[in-house]
Amino acid sequence: MHEILQYISSYLTSDKTPGVAGNMFWAFVYIMLVFLGLSVAVIAMNWLERKILAHMQVRLGPMRVGPHGLLQPIADAIKLLLKEDIMPAEADGFVFWMAPLIVVLAAFTVFVVVPFGPTHAITDMNIGILFMLGVSSLSVLGIVMAGWASNSHYPLIGALRSSAQMVSYEVAMGLAVVSAILMTSLNSEGTGTLSMIGIVQAQMAQGEWFIFKFFPLGLVAFFIFAVAMVAETNRAPFDLAEAESELTAGFHTEYSGFRWSLFFLAEYSAMIAVSSIAVTLWLGGWLRPFPNWLSGSPSDQIFSFFPGVTFLFFAAICFFNTVRMPKHPLFRIQTIGLAGFGVVLGLIGLVMFYPPVSVRVQDIFWFSAKVAGFMYLYIWYRGTFPRYRFDQLMQMGWKVLLPMGLGVLILTAGVALLQEKIWHL
Amino acid sequence: MLHITTLHYLVLGAALFLLGVIGVLTRRNVVIVLMSIELILNAVNLNLVAFSRMWGGLHGQVFAIFVITDAAAEAAVGLGILIAFFRNKETVNIDEVNLLKW
Amino acid sequence: MLIGGIAVITRKNPVHSALALIITLLAQASLYLMLYAPFVAGVQIILYAGGIMVLFLFVIMLVSIDRSIRERQFNSQWIVGIIAATALGGLFIAVYAKGSSIFPQHVLPAVENDNTQKIATMLYGQYMFAFEIASLLLLVAIIGAVVMAKKRI
């Protein structure tokens, strides 16, 4: 019994991720935490998307279900779970069943190597970024299978278009990723690393986020990746394959109920996954702004207040809206609900001020804040840009992004070589 | 507890190779023949990487990467030939590739 | 992995065969991980399972298979094929039974953190020529595939 406890608590004092340290129990705990966090994030994304899109379109969005529509995602989930599960008669049963499974598996397995902190990842593979790119390309297979198994025109065309688009933009993504990896090798030994935690540590060691490195090369590489990742996840403005006005929902037309919600879950998880790749590679991962320049005790203290302050800010917004709720007896439950939600957020914020918690939560908070910024960008793109036509889409992927990616790669390699030769003469 | 030695990997590679050869020699559908060729190449890769582990150097793994690249190229060309053939004959049956039969 | 391989060569529906091949490839990637070759495993997942199999699935869908599912699935020379494969299998068994003593008894465990770096050093150093030739080969394959599949040259 004592050694089991020792085994369990030995991780808390180590400085490696649970996978590297070989600690199965903590790896399992982390997996459960990541799964939970991801589910909460997808639910929050659903609500945020509808609210933010609505406010961008000068309307209010869901307001009825909970206070300001906060319980809307739960209502959606219940509806999807209770819907009838239809399978087309001529469809290939086994493939029809497997397709959403493969897409969800691919989207969730990617999170094994996502680094929320220097030791806050499930594991730190030697080939972290390669693994992430590879597994996210397995979701293309699932989409092709989904379109094929539905045995009708619209899903088939949608699936073929969607997979062609995803495969094309994977090339541009890969080139942008390679030029970021190139920048990790500019240290004293001359060796870079493919592991996600190593990339962020390289950014810390070199003192600047890779988006600002060799200006404007890091920025262009980031831009290429940002465009390619939106195309990769089939989101606006590249959502021809699943646009309602074009193809009646594309490859998931014939799916209903729970299977459709699996696709939906996989889409949002893939969005979060590629955003975390972008954050890790270019935006410094879990590092707070200015980790090297403004280091030392007072700046650390100030930056350590950010998580708590953020949650208190959200709680303040909740209370402000509680006061502004209509004073009608029918709204009483909603007002109480909103006030309760504000109290919960405030309590979480206060907990984050407590020093042991705030030390642990720092990295996760900064990483999540950056990924949340990317999510907001996704929703912003959906509300602002018109849709690309399919040939324009493919043209942009192959004729614009690919040469740009190659150019950035060659220029980055050249500038890195020059820096080595000139500065270390 | 059974130790997994190099021999186990080699036997598995040989079994895969055998399956691929059976697939190439007996199936009618050209696409499945091409997929069996991919099985053969995978078996060879497994052998290479197993030997690379046995000897400790990384030459086998580098060779395996080249084999994967070659397999991609050859799959692309093979499927191109298949499409060109299908356009003429409207079938994916190998038995009907008999234009040179006398 | 063996189940996947058997499924590849025995399924009537080519889409099922392709799925079985994907399972085989993923199982192979995990075998590479067991052999301490993470980079090859990563390359296998990206290229083979994520690239080549998508290509195969595209072509299977382009080529109409409704007729071919209902046809016989083993070709006209299957007897000779089975005999040849049996001979090959016998050869393998003979070789491995005789030579099983020259292989070491354990797979040497060694956790390396810089597998990728070592492979890269070798690829760009010792095997640089092969690397360039491989890129040329891919170029030729691209041109070949495009020319083959065009409707009018």
Q: Would you state the pLDDT for residue A112?
A: 87
Encoded tokens for C31: 């075998």
Q: Would you state the pLDDT for residue A331?
A: 79
Q: Would you state the pLDDT for residue B28?
A: 78
Q: pLDDT-based confidence at A310, cuts 50/70/90?
A: confident
Chains that touch C (3 or more CB pairs under 8 A): A, B
Closest chain A C-alpha to C113 CA, distance in angstroms: 6
Q: Is the CB of residue A100 less than 8 Å from the CB of residue A272?
A: no
> What's the CA angle centered on C147, arms B66 and C43, to 5 degrees?
20
Among the residues of A191-305, which ranges form H helices? 196-206, 217-232, 244-247, 258-282, 297-304
Q: pLDDT-based confidence at C136, cuts 50/70/90?
A: very high
On whether any CB of chain C is under 8 Å from the CB of B2, the answer is: no
Q: Which 8-state DSSP code applies to residue A122?
A: S
Reply yes or no: is the peptide bond before residue A291 cis, omega within 30 of 0: no
**Closest among B2, B6, B4, B3 to B53, alpha carbons compared:** B6
- In a domain? residue C106: no
Using the predicted structure, report yes or no on whether residue C26 has a pLDDT greater than 70.
Answer: yes
- In a domain? residue C127: yes
Average pLDDT in chain C: 80
Chains that touch A (3 or more CB pairs under 8 A): C
Domain CATH number, residue C10: 1.20.120.1200
Closest chain C C-alpha to A298 CA, distance in angstroms: 37
Cα dihedral sign, C62-A231-A239-A108: positive
Instruction: Report the b/e string of A4-43 with b at 16+ CB within 10 A.
Output: eeeeeeebeeeebbbbbbebeebbeebbeebeeebeebbb
Using CB atoms within 10 A of its CB, is residue A334 exposed (0-12), middle (13-18) or buried (19+)? buried
Q: Would you state the pLDDT for residue A8?
A: 67
Q: Is the CB of residue A307 less than 8 Å from the CB of residue A365?
A: yes
Q: Would you state the pLDDT for residue A251?
A: 64
Closest chain B C-alpha to C21 CA, distance in angstroms: 7
C35: which residues sit within 8 A by CB, 6+ positions away? B9, B49, B50, B52, B53, C107
Examine the fold and report which residue of C18, C39, C70 is the final residue of a domain before the chain moves on. C70
A350: which residues sit within 8 A by CB, 6+ positions away? A308, A312
- Residues A114 and A277: their CA atoms lie apart, in Å, by 8
Give the pTM: 0.86
Q: Which of C30, C43, C114, C117 to mutate to test binding with chain A, by most A CBs within 10 Å of its CB? A: C117
Q: pLDDT-based confidence at B51, cuts 50/70/90?
A: confident
A362, amino acid identity: Q
Using the predicted structure, report yes or no on whether residue A67 has a pLDDT greater than 90.
Answer: no
Domain range holding C140? Answer: 112-153
Q: For A92, how many CA atoms within 13 A lie in the half-sphere containing its CB? A: 19
Residues C45-96 pLDDT 10s: 988 988 899 888 888 877 755 555 555 556 667 777 788 888 888 888 888 8
Judging contacts by C-beta atoms under 8 Å, the chain C residues touching residue A156 are 61
Judging contacts by C-beta atoms under 8 Å, the chain C residues touching residue B11 are 92, 96
On whether any CB of chain B is under 8 Å from the CB of C123, the answer is: yes
Closest chain C C-alpha to B29 CA, distance in angstroms: 7
Residues of A with CB under 8 A from a CB of C: 92, 94-95, 98, 125-127, 130-131, 133-135, 137-138, 140-141, 144-145, 148, 156, 160, 163, 167, 170, 191-194
On whether any CB of chain A is under 8 Å from the CB of C57, the answer is: yes
Residues A5-37 pLDDT 10s: 776 666 666 666 666 666 677 788 888 888 998
Total domain count for chain C?
2
- Report the complex ipTM: 0.82
User: A-C interface: how many C-beta pairs under 8 angstroms?
Assistant: 73
What φ, ψ does residue B41 adopt, rounded to 5°? -65, -35
Q: Is the CB of residue A72 less than 8 Å from the CB of residue A54?
A: no
Provide mean pLDDT across the span C116-142.
87
Cβ atoms < 10 Å from Cβ of A279:
25
On whether any CB of chain A is under 8 Å from the CB of C66, the answer is: no
More confident residue, B44 or A328: B44
Does C64 share its domain with C7? yes
Q: Would you state the pLDDT for residue A61?
A: 82
Of C59, C84, C104, the CB nearest to B5: C104
**Closest among A147, A145, A140 to A95, alpha carbons compared:** A145
Q: Would you state the pLDDT for residue A410?
A: 93
Indicate left, alpha or beta for A125 from its phi (over 0: left) and psi (-120 to 50: alpha): beta
- In a domain? residue C82: no
Using the predicted structure, report yes or no on whether residue A247 has a pLDDT greater than 60.
Answer: no
Chains that touch B (3 or more CB pairs under 8 A): C
Using the predicted structure, report yes or no on whether residue A178 has a pLDDT greater than 80.
Answer: yes
Angle between helices A355-384 and A24-56 (to 10 degrees): 40
Q: Is the CB of residue A88 less than 8 Å from the CB of residue A150?
A: yes
What φ, ψ does residue A269 adopt, rounded to 5°? -65, -40
Of C15, C38, C58, the CB nearest to A127: C38
Q: Would you state the pLDDT for residue C153?
A: 56
Judging contacts by C-beta atoms under 8 Å, the chain B residues touching residue C134 are 66, 69-70
Provide mean pLDDT across the span C125-149.
88
Nearest Cα residue in chain B from C90: B18
Closest chain B C-alpha to C19 CA, distance in angstroms: 11
Cβ atoms < 10 Å from Cβ of C129:
8
A109, amino acid identity: T
- In a domain? residue C51: yes
On whether any CB of chain A is under 8 Å from the CB of C22, the answer is: yes
Judging contacts by C-beta atoms under 8 Å, the chain A residues touching residue C42 are 127, 130-131, 134
On whether any CB of chain A is under 8 Å from the CB of C114, the answer is: yes
- Residues A220 and A314: their CA atoms lie apart, in Å, by 34
Residues A373-416 pLDDT 10s: 999 999 999 889 888 888 888 888 899 999 999 999 999 989 88
* Domains and their CATH numbers in chain B: 29-92 (1.10.287.3510)
Q: pLDDT-based confidence at A145, cuts 50/70/90?
A: confident
- Residues C97 and A106: their CA atoms lie apart, in Å, by 41
- Residues C16 and C23: their CA atoms lie apart, in Å, by 11
- In a domain? residue C99: no
Cα dihedral sign, A52-A57-A60-A65: negative
Examine the fold and report which residue of C70, C98, C122 is the final residue of a domain before the chain moves on. C70
- Residues A122 and A24: their CA atoms lie apart, in Å, by 10
- Highest mean pLDDT: which of A155-164, A286-295, A305-314, B33-42? B33-42
- Residues A386 and A383: their CA atoms lie apart, in Å, by 9
- In a domain? residue C8: yes
Closest chain C C-alpha to B28 CA, distance in angstroms: 5
Does C118 share its domain with C53? no
Provide mean pLDDT across the span A211-224.
86
Q: Would you state the pLDDT for residue A269?
A: 92
Judging contacts by C-beta atoms under 8 Å, the chain A residues touching residue C39 are 126-127, 130
Q: pLDDT-based confidence at A273, cuts 50/70/90?
A: very high
Domain residue spans of chain A: 24-82, 83-289+399-423, 306-352
Closest chain A C-alpha to C31 CA, distance in angstroms: 15
Judging contacts by C-beta atoms under 8 Å, the chain B residues touching residue C129 are none
A366, amino acid identity: W
On whether any CB of chain C is under 8 Å from the CB of B68, the answer is: yes
Q: Would you state the pLDDT for residue A272?
A: 92
Percent of chain B with pLDDT over 70: 83
Q: Would you state the pLDDT for residue C133?
A: 92
Q: Which 8-state DSSP code applies to residue A69?
A: G
- Residues B80 and C4: their CA atoms lie apart, in Å, by 26
- Residues C9 and A252: their CA atoms lie apart, in Å, by 30
